[in-house]
Amino acid sequence: MNHTQRDGGGHSHGHHHGSAGHDHSHDLRSAGKRSLVAAFVLIAAFMFVEVAGGIISGSLALLADAGHMLTDAASIALALTAMYFAERPHSVQRTFGYHRLEILAALVNALALWLIVAWVLFEAYDRFTSVTGIDGGLMLGIGVIGLCVNLGAARILHRSSSHNINIEGAFLHVIADLLGSVGVVISGILIWTLGWTLADPIASVIIAILILVSSWRLMKKVVHVLLEGTPEHVDVYQLCSKLEAVEGVTLVHDIHVWTLSAGNEALTAHILIDPDYPGDAEDLRLRLRDIIYNDFGIGHITLQVEKSLEGCSEDHHFDHLATPVGSAD
């Protein structure tokens, strides 16, 4: 789909989605939905078994893992809901639709992981100061089953997680739970064979730390998107250089690149062209738009073509000609 609009002031818009790219994106979202549904059924079904086993065996590590499985199911349900709303059509009130709901869902998932960490650490502290009887054999058996369930759910979500930050949030929940299951199995073996009940709160603390570490990367990505940060795969310096290498382009300025949702980026920029450029400005703009879309995967493109900087009111020009921070001299 290709929409183009141009007004007398040279302010033109390009919303460019090739049919192949659109179909590929739709296929990825459909595959992501199927993965989320399958993982939800698998996790929700086992969650009740783990809760009962944790209560009967008296294992905090097992209950912590069961609690995390509950948030796994909730995070997947949240991801599915966000994907549903993200597909609703745009409106005058929401010109970008509901795409940001996927980012907000990922944020909620990350915060939920941190709440789990706080609860597990609090309960583990209490276990360190009091002796509790634990059925190591039952704990081990349920832990092994839980490990298999989490391995299956992680495998289902792995492929789709690389294409959608929302699904990545659910995937990280499952990975953290997978690590928790490993901790449950190890502590179950130690309690069953050696009677060492301290292995339970120790495993719980390790699980909490691993969950915190796994969620930190997700939180950083979510905050980066909410702060309108440049997408990781877009090098603004390279992008500007490619555009300025096109005949007729003098300068690219007032450029902004940001992410609306996973795989949905936007760009606005002012293009200063040579006043003596003999070609058609609209044809030049279309060439620049194609470079931005094909080379950098940006679909929402707004370019303002100018022949002079006079009258440009922006006071926040991005100096893309400066040496990037951290680059070699």
Share of the chain above pLDDT 90, in %: 8
pLDDT category at 95 given cuts 50, 70, 90 is: low
Query: Which helix (DSSP H) or strand (DSSP E) does residue 146 occupy?
Result: helix 136-161
pLDDT tens, residue by residue, 157-179? 887 776 666 677 778 777 877 87
Structure pTM? 0.62
Please check the confidence at residue 300 and state whether its pLDDT lies above 80.
Answer: yes
Closest CA to 184 of 56, 63, 48, 45: 63
Q: How far apart are CA 305 and CA 319, in angstroms?
A: 18
Neighbours of 23 (CB within 10 A): 11
Task: Show the tokens assigned to 11.
Answer: 């302010």
pLDDT tens, residue by residue, 215-228? 787 788 888 888 88
β-pairing, 2-6 vs 11-16, is antiparallel
Cα-Cα end-to-end distance for the chain: 43
Quote the pLDDT of residue 5: 39
pLDDT category at 61 given cuts 50, 70, 90 is: low
Closest CA to 258 of 282, 291, 293, 232: 232
β-pairing, 300-306 vs 264-273, is parallel
Please check the confidence at residue 267 and state whether its pLDDT lies above 90.
Answer: yes
Quote the pLDDT of residue 292: 92
In the predicted model, what is the mean pLDDT of residues 186-209?
81
Judge contact between 271 and 303, C-beta under 8 A: yes
pLDDT tens, residue by residue, 1-52? 344 333 334 444 444 444 444 454 555 566 777 788 888 888 887 777 777 7
Quote the pLDDT of residue 20: 41
Q: How far apart are CA 98 and CA 70, in angstroms?
A: 26
